[in-house]
Structures are given as structure tokens and as C-alpha cells.
Amino acid sequence: MEPEEIADAFMQLEQSGKVRHFGVSNLNPGQIELLYKYVDQPLIANQLQLSLTNTGMIDAGFNVNMENPPSIVHDGGILEYCRLHDITIQPWSPFQYGFFEGVFLDNDKFPELNRAIDTLVEAKGAPNTAIAIAWLLRHPAKMQPIIGTTTPQRVRDIAQAADIKLTRKEWYDLYLAAGNKLP
């Protein structure tokens, strides 16, 4: 990235009235600090890949001071950085596993996770997409998932997540069912 050019573009967009708020995508804390050296506008969002099966930024926090693979901080502590600097995390691809390998919902590769989700589907009376989004919304970072659809019924289904209150135990049960480990 060339932060000077980004700063110029931000200024033009703001002065023309086309943009009131600015965010970034997939930046780590060092990159955000570099950008802040040149831009005047606060950054209010950072779009990051996060789902029940893409939990690296959460895993690192659970495995502090450990010598296991989940303890490796690949993103510079972006979860904590965003929380400290009031930057809203916007999880993208919240139903995907891997890097665009497919959807984990109703996928035979994730039987334990889908059983756990289906249990909550029945208990909460909501679609599995809403349960997956409710898991993100339960995190104290107050995330705003990017749902990746404009299909009206799918939007209505996913919107039910706003009314689902997962308990801490339900949140951890889903985290573990996705194959994650706690130290």
C-alpha cells in the first residue's frame, strides 16, 4: 500500500461528500498505524476473515504464552488492537472454511460442528445461518458481519441472529465443535 495515495483519495472522497466514514480491509496493527501517519480521518472498520472455522485471531488470545500452533499471532493482535482503538471488525465470509474452500454449513467435512449448530437451530428456532452469525455477534468485540448476500429470504433468515442470545457455554460449545482446542 502507498499510504500517501490513500490519504489523498480519502481527502478527495471526504471533501466531495461522497464518503463520511472510512474503513480498511485485512490490515494488521502496523499497517493501520502506517496509514494513520498520513490520513486525517478515523478508521471505523476493518474487514477481516472470521468464522467458526477461521478463528485464528481468537485462537491466539486463548493460547498466549504457549508453544502450540494456535499461539502464533499471524495478524499482530488485530482483534485486541481494533477493540482498543474502537475499530469495528466486520467479519467477511462468515460461513466459509479455509480461504474460499466452501461453506461449512451442512458440509460433511464438519459433522460435529453441524450437529452443534443443528442443536441450537432446534433450541432457538432459527436457521443455521442465523446461529453462525449469532456466534460472531456474541463476541464482546461487537462485530458487524458482512453476510455476502442480497437474496431477501436469506437476509431475513440471517437477520434473526440479532434476536439470538447465545450463552457463553453455547458459544464455547460451537467453538470446540468447529475443531478448535482450548489450552
pLDDT, residue 162, reads 98
Measured distance between the N- and C-terminal CA atoms of the chain, rounded to whole angstroms: 37
Residue 170 has phi, psi (to 5 degrees) of -60, -40
Query: Model pTM?
Result: 0.94
- pLDDT for the residue numbered 90: 98
**pLDDT value for 41:** 96
- Under a CB-based contact definition with an 8 Å cutoff, are residues 27 and 35 in contact? yes
Question: What residue spans define the domains of the chain?
Answer: 3-177
Give the list of residues 6+ apart from residue 119 with CB closer than 8 angstroms, or none: none
Mode of pairing for the β-strands spanning 102-103 and 96-97: antiparallel
Distance CA 88, CA 25 (A): 11
Show pLDDT as tens, one digit a residue, over the chain (183 residues): 899 999 999 999 999 999 999 999 999 999 999 999 999 999 999 999 999 999 999 999 999 999 999 899 999 999 999 999 999 999 999 999 988 889 999 999 999 999 999 999 999 999 999 999 999 999 999 999 999 998 999 999 999 999 999 999 999 999 999 999 998
Give the span between the Cα atoms of 66 and 124, in whole angstroms. 36
Q: Are 45 and 88 in contact (CB under 8 A)?
A: yes
What DSSP string describes 78-123? HHHHHHHTT-EEEEESTTEETTTTEE-TT-TT-HHHHHHHHHHHHH
For 3-177, give the CATH class: alpha beta
* pLDDT value of position 15: 97
- Output helix, strand, coil percentages for the chain, rounded to the nearest 5: 45, 10, 40
The contacts of residue 166 (CB under 8 Å, 6+ apart) are: 120, 134, 135, 138, 174
